[in-house]
Every structure is written in structure tokens, then in C-alpha cells.
Amino acid sequence: MADVMVMKEIEDKASFLGIDLSTIDLDSIHLPPGDDCGIISDDESVLQEENSGSFDTGFGNIIVVDNLPVVPREKFEKLEGVVRKIYSQIGVIKDGGLWMPVDPSTGKSLGYCFIEYNTPQEAELAKEKTHGYKLDRSHIFAVSMFDDFDRFMKVPDEWAPPPNKEYTPGENLQHWLTDAKGRDQFVMRAGNDTEVLWNDARHLKPDPVYKRAYWTESFVQWSPLGTYLATVHRQGAAVWGGATTFNRLMRYAHPQVKLIDFSPGEKYLVTYSSHEPSNPRDANRVVINIFDVRTGKVMRDFKGSADDFAIGGTGGVTGVSWPVFKWSGGRDDKYFARMGKNVLSVYETETFSLVDKKSIKVENIMDFSWSPTDPIISLFVPESGGGNQPARVSLVQIPSKEELRQKNLFSVSDCKMYWQSNGEYLAVNVDRYTKTKKSTYTGFELFRIKERDIPIEVLELENKNDKIIAFAWEPKGHRFAVIHGDHPKPDISIYSMRTAQNTGRVSKLTTLKGKQANALFWSPAGRFIVLAGLKGLNGLLEFYNVDDLQTMANAEHFCATDVEWDPTGRYVATAVTHVHEMENGFNIWSFNGKHLYRILKDGFYQFLWRPRPASFLTAEKEEEIAKNLRKYSLKYEAEDQDVSLLLSEQEREKRRIVQEDWDKWVNQWKQLHEEEKLKRQELRDGEASDEEEEYEAKDIEVEEVVDVSKEILHFEYGQE
């Protein structure tokens, strides 16, 4: 019977994919031996470890509701109707899925019941929503999962202390930062393989570090400081790291996890999953867990429908914006927040509860963003009351919830907020309606966060009707770039928040006219920027020096989909991912646009540089190094010269081998030519010479009748 069911599933799947099974010889298909078909999966080991010593009862969709009223048989129907009304609002109860046991001696109910839902997710939601539900003053529901009883029964009667484990020192997870060559690492995914490599630009090739097949089931992600590499599996997420290789450091159980997000200081990991309800009319069931990265403990979980988490964020799946929670700036990971309907909920990580035990009420809040360095939130509220209440941008201090600054905005169509990486400036891109309401124009409100009273400056483009295509702040700097105008050749303007007189006024440095670009990528060290025309613009690249206001190089990576600077600002990677069928792979460039090397990979999915933590050097020390850079660079120039000589020697060796192969090939043909001399002489009627000049060329005309046709011509009277 089981074989019949499996075959039915195969036939249904083939029908869905449009495959005719009659054309396939199933007996000719031989799978690798073993239940895992020869593919080692971390998920299976996780599952085995989690289930070791436990029994899967298969009753995960059943809950037990205790503290019900004890009633006689004539009141069963009424009590059952009340219970069914409460619990059918949460999910679909199976036919005959509500059962109240009866005391046979008294004929009364026992004060509890069993409820069976279609899915475990509905049962978990019912437990969460109704545990502690007050039916009346004397009856407060106590709800448990049926599967929990098996766990409760295994608790020993007597407590025994856990065994002591010997201390084993952990690996140095920052060991990769001590590379003698000062190289950076990156991870790439292609096909079924995930690989970590050094960027060895001196030798014009990557240097392998670690490679693993089927390392993840969807994607990989570096933690913000580069300490961990996270992978995603059916049973949850895992993080990896180590001194010389990548070992699994911790796993986080979250079935069907789809998205993950680290806090800026790597202390916490947020995981997200979405589950389809049994009733198609209901919204998807969403589960969000916040784990402690080091211990793997769940610090807080959030559950609800997709509609509960559909506000805020910039991307996501199944109608849920991601990230749902945004973290405060800095490495202390002290606060995180999310938007709800007319509220902004800010949580602190000491207790993982709301700051001051309540959310901030903000009518019609549309968007918010944290300062990258300080506990300051910028939030945007659109117009309301038919325009009687203007839109506004506010800055709110946390945890005091004090409003530091507010700017009212009129006739607003849309608003986007961009923080500078040091938290010194906030740019608000405001689209406003014209008086006729038929079109919009654009301007910027620029907040100087660190200055007294937070002054605001208004910046308008020369052509107000220009559409803003892209905006980007210079990291750790005072400049920003804007792509504005119409495709395919918009303009690019670069501004500074400082002037020569340092008057605190924004000034335009330059406008580059008619550039085929739709994305801006600043170097992490500032000063240099890549103007990129991605996807529809065929991967045009311009490497621009903002200090000198001049182009360093123009290049192209056809069909490029991604551009990423390495964390030091020395190299740039451009990639063509699997969204294009051809030329999958990546190129590595120097900061000034020199092409260094190219790697092609079929089915190329991801390229991610490994982030670096902030430098421990003070600003004064960095300035001193910059002034004495010539002295420090002599050592590295000598090393570069040695590498250059080595590469030259290797190149000469390659050319010598190629020349030898060529000579060998020529000699083989000469030998064959000599062996066939008698045959050629025979074909030339005894002529022995192969020299063409010893023969006389003659042109001979040969006439040949190609076709003969007859035609009768009529002779008319009077014609000669």
C-alpha cells in the first residue's frame, strides 16, 4: 500500500511538472546507495541528535485545555459549544476533534478536554492565544500541548546534578584577521558547492580555504563583524567558524526557517518562518525567534499571522517585510524595534520586553530607521485629515522617548530616509506634489545630528522634476552622491556637507552629465566611488575619484548583477549571478579600475566579502600612518616586486611550455609529410618535387553544353 501511495505522489508531481512518465524508463534509474543517496546532510545529524532518547508521538496538533467547568451530562452540549466557539476562531478543528472525558461514577465532565486541529501550527497558536484565558472568575484556562506530557513523564523523581564537563579552550574565531599578507576572504555559492577563499590579488587568483558540498539549503550569510558564517537548513540555522577551518559552533532549531538576521554586535540572531494555514482564507502563520548566538537559547519569540508583521522593512516573503525588527546602532545591541498599526514598539535586550512596558503611539506611522551609532530613531508620518495634518519627520531619543527634533512637511507624496554611517547626518528624500497634484518634484531635508539644536537644511536639485534613481552617503565622510534624471543617461551630482569656509552649508562639488548608471557604490574607506549600470545597462562601470573629481577608469562586466567593495576598500568584485544563463561568475578589480582576474562558475548564486570589525586604532594613529605611508609601504613594495618577478618567471615558463608543445606538433606533421611522399608522387604521375614554383600553371577552357531548348518563332507577312 505504501508503494502505491509513493507512486501516486510521483505521478501527481510529474503531471504538475508536465512530464510524461511513459517516456521514462524508471528501471534504468539507479540511485546512489544509502538512505541519504551518498549526500551527507547536517540537518539529518541535527534531527538525530534532537530526537535521540525521545519518542515522536505524532500528536503535535492536539492541545489539552484544563480548568474547564465540571458540568453534568445535560450541560455538555452548552459547554462544548462555548469551547468550540473560542477555539474554532483560531484554526480548523477536525471532525470529532473535541472530546471531553467523563467521570463514569458521577456522569460529570472531568474539567478538561482534548482539541485536535488540522496542523501543529494551529495547535501552537491556540495554546499561545488561550493559555490563561479567563472564562469566568473561577475558571482560567491552562493549555498544554499533548506531546508535552511525554516530556513531563520523563522528569526523574529525584534531582541529580548535571555532570561536570572539562573545560576545553575554544578556537580563535578572529584568526583570519592575522593573515600575514593582509588578504580578505570571501564566500561564493555555485551549484551545490559553497566555498570560502582568500582574495590573493598579488597572484591574480583566489586561494582556497574551505569547500563543502550541500553546506546550505538556500543561502549563506556572514555575521556583521565577520566572526560567523551562517547557513540555513530545514531544521533551522547554524553558524560556523574557526581558526584554520570551519566547524559548526552552534545550531538554532527553527523548522522551515526562511530568513535570518544578525544584530550589529553579533550577540543575537533573528530567524523567521512562515507556514500556510489549513484554511485558505486565513493569513500565513509567522514565527520569529530571537536566539542568543553564543548559547543558542531562545531569548524571545513572536508568533502571529502574516498581517501582524506586514508593516515596515524593505523586502521579504509571503507578504511579510524584512527585517521585521530593526536594531539600534553600535555594537552593544541594546535595543530593537518594529512597527505596528499606529505604534512603534521598542524592546530592550536586558529583559526582552518593551521599554517602559508600553509601545510608542504614533498615528499612521509609515517608516522608521535607527541611527547607525546612537539610540536615536527617525520616523516618518504621512499627511492625514485630507491634508489638514502635515506629514512630519521626527527624531526620538531612546529610552527616554524624548522628541529631539521635528520637521513638518507639506504636500508630501513619498519620503525616504538615509543615515550617514557615523550618524552625523540624516538625509530625507521628499517627493512633493505640485499645486495641480498632477505631478511631483523632489528635494532633500538634511539634518546635522551632531550640531546644536540639530539644524536642518533644504536642498533642491537644479531641475526639480528630475527623478531620484539612487542616493548614497560616503562612508565615514561628509559627501553624498545622487543619480537623478531620466533613463538611460541620467546625471550624477556629488555634494558635500562642508564648504571651503566651513560655514555649515551644503555645496555641490560636480555634476556628471549623461552617465549610463543606475547604482552607486562608495568605497568603505571613502574617496572612491563606482558608478554602475547594472542589469538592463549591461554592466557598465566607471571608477571615479571624488577627491580629484576625475574618472580613473571605465570598464564593463557584461550583464553584471552585483557590485561589492571588499571591507578595506582595496578591491571591487562584480558578479553575474544565475538570473542570467550566460557568463556566470565574478571579476575582481583594483580600487582604480584595473581588472585583476576572472572566475567563471555555472549556476553562480552568491558572492559575499567577509566583513571586518572596526579598527582598534585611534583616528590620530590612522592619520599618523597616512602621513608616513611612504615609510610603511617600502616593505610591501619590495614584496610586490618579488611577487611580480615570480609571476614573470611563471609566465616565461608557461610560454616555454607552449613553444615546446608547438614545436613538437610541427615536427609530428613534418614526419607525417615525409612518410606520405611516395603517395603524393604517385598522385602526380611520378613527379617527385613538392615545390610549387617548379610547376607551370595553365588555363584551359572547356566548353560544355549545359542545356538545349527549342522555340518556334512565327514569321508575319510583310516582314523581311
DSSP 99-124: E--B-TTT--B-SEEEEEESSHHHHH
Q: What is the CA radius of gyration of the chain?
A: 36
With respect to residue 19, please indicate whether it lies within any of the assigned structural domains.
no
Q: Could you give the CA distance from residue 99 to residue 156 in angstroms, rounded to a whole number?
A: 30
With respect to residue 407, please indicate whether it lies within any of the assigned structural domains.
no
Q: What are phi and psi of 227, to 5 degrees?
A: -70, -40
The DSSP letter of residue 474 is P
Predicted TM-score (pTM) of the model is 0.74
Q: What's at 395, amino acid-wise?
A: L
pLDDT at position 386 is: 73
Task: Give the pLDDT mean for 486-509.
Answer: 84
pLDDT at position 368 is: 94
pLDDT at position 72 is: 93
pLDDT at position 51 is: 47
Domain count, the chain: 1
Q: How many CB atoms sit inside 10 A of residue 41's CB?
A: 14
With respect to residue 97, please indicate whether it lies within any of the assigned structural domains.
yes
Q: Which uninterrupted H or E stretch holds 471? A: strand 468-473
Domain that holds residue 135: 62-154
User: What DSSP string runs through 638-672?
Assistant: HHHHHHHHHHHHHHHHHHHHHHHHHHHHHHHHHHH
Q: How many CB atoms sit inside 10 A of residue 334's CB?
A: 19
With respect to residue 446, please indicate whether it lies within any of the assigned structural domains.
no
143 Cβ contact partners less than 8 Å away, ≥ 6 residues apart: 63, 64, 65, 66, 126, 127, 130, 131, 133
With respect to residue 90, please indicate whether it lies within any of the assigned structural domains.
yes
What tens digit of pLDDT does each residue of 393-436 get?
999 999 999 999 999 999 888 899 999 999 999 999 999 888 88
Task: Give the pLDDT mean for 522-542.
Answer: 92
Q: With cut-offs at 50, 70 and 90, classify the pLDDT of residue 13.
A: low
With respect to residue 480, please indicate whether it lies within any of the assigned structural domains.
no
Answer whether residue 620 shows pLDDT above 90.
no
Task: Give the pLDDT mean for 433-441.
Answer: 83
User: What DSSP string runs through 281-322?
Assistant: TSPPEEEEEEEETTT--EEEEEEEEGGGG-SS-SEEETTEEE
Task: Give the pLDDT mean for 311-316.
Answer: 49
pLDDT at position 720 is: 47
pLDDT at position 322 is: 85
Query: Do the Cβ atoms of 217 and 228 come closer than 8 Å?
Result: no
**CA 719 remoteness from chain centre:** 94
Q: Could you give the CA distance from residue 261 to residue 264 in angstroms, rounded to a whole number?
A: 9
Q: Could you give the CA distance from residue 302 to residue 190 in angstroms, rounded to a whole number?
A: 34
- For 212, half-sphere exposure in the C-beta direction (CA atoms, 13 angstrom radius) is 18
Q: Could you give the CA distance from residue 190 to residue 203 in angstroms, rounded to a whole number?
A: 23
> Which CATH number goes with the domain that contains 109?
3.30.70.330
| Angle at which helices 629-675 and 619-627 cross, to 10° | 60
Which string of b and e fits 451-478 if b means at least 16 CB within 10 Å? eeebeeeebebeeeebebbbbbbbbebb
What tens digit of pLDDT does each residue of 695-714 get?
667 788 888 888 888 887 76
With respect to residue 121, please indicate whether it lies within any of the assigned structural domains.
yes
With respect to residue 249, please indicate whether it lies within any of the assigned structural domains.
no
Q: With cut-offs at 50, 70 and 90, classify the pLDDT of residue 85.
A: very high
What tens digit of pLDDT does each residue of 549-590 get?
999 999 999 999 999 999 999 999 999 998 888 889 999 999
